[in-house]
Amino acid sequence: MRNFAMLLSLLLIAAVTSACGDYANTVTSDVMVPQANGPNPQNLPNANSVPKPTPPGGYTVSPTPVVVSEVMVDPAGTNAGNQFVELFNSSNNPVDIGGWMLTDGFSNHTFGYGFQLAANARVVIHLGATGTDSGSEQFVPSFGELQLTGSMVLLQSGTTLVDFVEWGAASQNYEGTADQLQEWTAGDFVTVMAEGLSYHYDGSANNSTAWTAKNPTPGQ
């Protein structure tokens, strides 16, 4: 009798297990994979055809807010010996330009470690002149005299070109690199200015159209 009861129990368990398996198989076959509500990734729009906002004017064309804003080139004129380059920080925050280099390809000036250019401020680098360095003025007596034909480049960390201008003629130092980075157009240059004037940058483009000849205004 005991063996019969045990056999009956085993048969009952087998029957219940079989029923549960059939139910589980039925439920599995009825489950639907959730579908995403978004667009099919294969049908996404071409990124090159999506309209892009037009950037506002004024220094937005530079990869950094610090740009070369004025260059005084007058080797034999009324400002001989008073040549300078001005940098402008167009942002509302100070920028650490320590280790950045300003060069014409022949001479250079590297800003000291931790040098901060204040928000919306300018620093004037006096070339070939002596004086007391400050946050708004730097003196580089070893910098050679700029000529009527030449270029000026700003290198971040001393290696990465972030701004460029050339005057008098094309194919000056660093023009090729500036062209590759779309910081200038190969073959373009600023026309030589009249004696006593300096080159001023308005921040509207990376070419000669953004530069005009005006009276020197270092630091202003």
Residue 4 belongs to some domain of the structure: no
Task: For tokens 């308005």, name the residue.
Answer: 202
Per-residue pLDDT of the chain (220 residues; tens, 9 = 90+): 444 445 445 444 544 444 444 444 444 445 454 554 545 445 544 444 444 333 344 555 667 899 999 999 999 888 888 999 999 999 999 999 999 999 999 999 999 999 999 999 999 999 999 999 999 999 999 999 999 999 999 999 889 999 999 999 999 999 999 999 999 999 999 999 999 999 999 999 999 999 999 999 999 9
Give residue 32's pLDDT.
Answer: 54
Which residue, 204, 163, 198, 202, is CA-closest to 184? 163
Contacts of 63 (CB under 8 A, 6+ apart): 162, 183
Find the CATH number of the domain harbouring 176. 2.60.40.1260
Question: What's residue 36's pLDDT?
Answer: 46
Q: Let me know if residue 17 belongs to a domain.
A: no
Q: How far is the C-alpha of 11 from the C-alpha of 17, rounded, in Å?
A: 10
pLDDT in tens, 16-29: 444 444 444 444 44
Give the Cα separation of 166 and 208 in Å (integer): 8
Structural domain contains residue 107: yes
- Whether 150 is covered by a domain: the verdict is yes
Q: For residue 201, what are the CA distances in angstroms to 68, 110, 146, 166, 168? A: 7, 22, 18, 12, 16
Per-residue pLDDT at 78: 87
Instruction: State pTM to two decimals.
Output: 0.73
Query: Is position 176 within any domain?
Result: yes
122 within domain boundaries: yes
In a domain, residue 173? The reply is yes
Q: Domain limits at 75?
A: 66-214
How many domains does the structure of the chain reveal?
1
Residues 174, 181: Cα–Cα separation, whole Å: 11
Is residue 51 in a domain? no
Provide the terminal-to-terminal Cα distance of the chain, rounded to the nearest Å: 111
Instruction: Return phi, psi of residue 74, to 5°.
Output: -155, 70
Task: Quote the pLDDT of residue 63.
Answer: 77
User: 80-119: per-residue pLDDT in tens?
Assistant: 889 999 999 999 999 999 999 999 999 999 999 999 999 9
**pLDDT at 158 (0 to 100):** 86
